[in-house]
Amino acid sequence: MRIPINEVTPAIPSAEVCGWVHEVRDLGGLAFLLVRDRTGIIQVTIPKKKVPEPVLAALKSVSRESVVRVTGAVKAMEKAPGGRELVPESLVIVSLAETPLPLDVSEKVPAELDTRLDARFLDVRRPRVAAVFEIRSAAMHAIHQYFHHEGFTAITTPKIVAAATEGGTELFPIAYFDKEAFLNQSPQLYKQMMMAAGCEKVYEIGPIFRAEEHNTTKHLNEATSIDIEVSFADHTDVMRILEEIIVKAYAYVYRSCPDQLANLEIADFAVPKAPFPRLPYAEAIEIAKKGIDEPIKYGDDISPAAERAIGAEMGGHYFIVDWPSEIRPYYAMHYENDPSICKAFDLMHPRMELSSGAQREHRYDKLVQQISQKGLNPESFEFYLRPFRYGMPPHAGWGLGAERLVMTMLGLSNVREAVLFPRDMHRLVP
Ligand code: ATP
Ligand code: MG
């Protein structure tokens, strides 16, 4: 029976291990194979005069990154990784790897991100790359667990839709029989409909599609959004949920992924502390004015340079609140006493935006008015507006980008490193 490499100790007299050939070293009378599985590396020591002939034959033809099965005696060996070695009675090549390899898995030769992504199956064999996806999995687990524990219902909404969420141009049109259809850019309208359906607390973790022609280090054309919507809640309620989730995700990664963090050489992993500061948009603009060269004024979107300047000032996670209604979507609720600002917020990491959310306008007449004010035609939103006429509770929610969460958590320089098979303007394969 095959045992995981990290469970092989000198206390076991013999073991069978399976994995990839990390390295082959032939010193004449003695040869070494390093064999790697996802748990670790073991040295296979081959004294050529003492091992059976089929072992020698396999050694001759084996190449790096081939899959092998090795059975043999376990011996203590101080200098070998893990303090033990395997002396093979049998060495079988299960799957021979072609040479040369498109990518050096042992990381001796550094590779460009594009080369890595082209050969992602080899790239992820690297422990430090695998660590990113194991940590992403752990963070998502903590988030699912939180929602489950807090009584949220997990929902799945359609990704093929007939209309835009925000009437924007960032949509991918698709061929859908004889109709015009698009890939959904956000579950926004559907999760709001579930409030009319009486679900009260829903979440969805699923793909969103943005046809933005941004070629940046933080935009993907297919991203993963963690979305919630909560009834009888306002923006401050869902901001508390958001900061709690961020803290939970970090804390769970800190507890459950020490080896992965070590693989990534992250020694100063810090779990953020809630509550995060709430910075009014107007103050954020004042900070940006001092911090950047380009002109910026009240009412402008917060540019990437402004984001970084404000982030440097704030130092950790923070919220930007009280946004001008003019630059937020039609569904954000305006303040009663000053309709020029709305109950919308962004959650920011010092490097970039992580999430946008708001209390939504649930009153039908106001919503129709706000759609018109944005220059959109309420008639084309009939499927969305209909539930607002039959008993819609007040509600609030947000969308949080999973890749940006992982990217900022691990200090990755490019969002593409936080997704297995990124989709961007130039990449559709693999
Ligand atoms: P940005 O202004 O940074 O492009 P946005 O305001 O367009 O983001 P939202 O529509 O508010 O994005 O989406 C909510 C969250 O989903 C964002 O804060 C981000 O974390 C994530 N997200 C949105 N678009 C993308 C994308 N193209 N690539 C990766 N993540 C994205
Ligand atoms: Mg946003």
pLDDT tens per residue, range 90-101: 999 999 999 999
d(CA 334, CA 326): 10
Q: Whose alpha carbon is nearest atom 21 of ligand 1? A: 401
Question: Using one digit for the tens of pLDDT, what is the confidence trace for 373-408?
Answer: 999 999 988 999 999 999 999 999 999 999 999 999
Question: Using one digit for the tens of pLDDT, what is the confidence trace for 177-218?
Answer: 999 999 999 999 999 999 999 999 999 999 999 998 888 999
Q: Whose alpha carbon is nearest atom 31 of ligand 1? A: 401
Residue 101 lies in a domain: no
d(CA 243, CA 120): 33
Give, in degrees to the nearest 5, the angle at Cα 418 between 415 and 423: 65
| CA-to-CA separations, 144 to 87, 140, 228, in angstroms, rounded | 45, 6, 12
Same-domain status, 80 and 135: no
Question: Using one digit for the tens of pLDDT, what is the confidence trace for 215-239?
Answer: 899 999 999 999 999 999 999 999 9
* Number of other residues whose CB lies within 10 A of the CB of residue 47: 11
CA end-to-end distance (rounded Å), the chain? 34
Ligand 2 center to residue 353 CA distance, Å? 7
Residue to substitute in 170, 205, 215, 219 for testing ligand 1 pocket (most ligand atoms within 8 angstroms of CB): 219
Q: Whose alpha carbon is nearest atom 23 of ligand 1? A: 401
Same-domain status, 140 and 89: no
Per DSSP, the three-state class of 407 is helix
| CA-to-CA separations, 345 to 246, 279, 382, in angstroms, rounded | 16, 9, 27
Residue 264 lies in a domain: yes
Per DSSP, the three-state class of 277 is coil
Contact, 63 vs 96, CB < 8 A? yes
Ligand 1 center to residue 138 CA distance, Å? 22
Please say which residue of 77, 95, 113 terminates a domain.
95
CATH of the domain at 22: 2.40.50.140
Domain containing residue 362: 122-276+316-418
Same-domain status, 269 and 402: yes
Question: Using one digit for the tens of pLDDT, what is the confidence trace for 155-168?
Answer: 999 999 987 666 66
Residue 226 lies in a domain: yes
Residue 423 lies in a domain: no
Domain count, the chain: 2
Ligand 1 center to residue 223 CA distance, Å? 9
Residue 305 lies in a domain: no
Ligand 1 center to residue 427 CA distance, Å? 19
Mean pLDDT, residues 419-429 taken together: 96
pLDDT at 77: 96
- Ligand 1 atom nearest the C-alpha of 166 is 10
d(CA 257, CA 251): 10
77 burial via Cβ count (<10 Å: 0-12, 13-18, 19+) = middle
Ligand nearest to the CA of 219: 1
- Ligand 1 atom nearest the C-alpha of 210 is 27
Give, in degrees to the nearest 5, the angle at Cα 304 between 299 and 307: 75
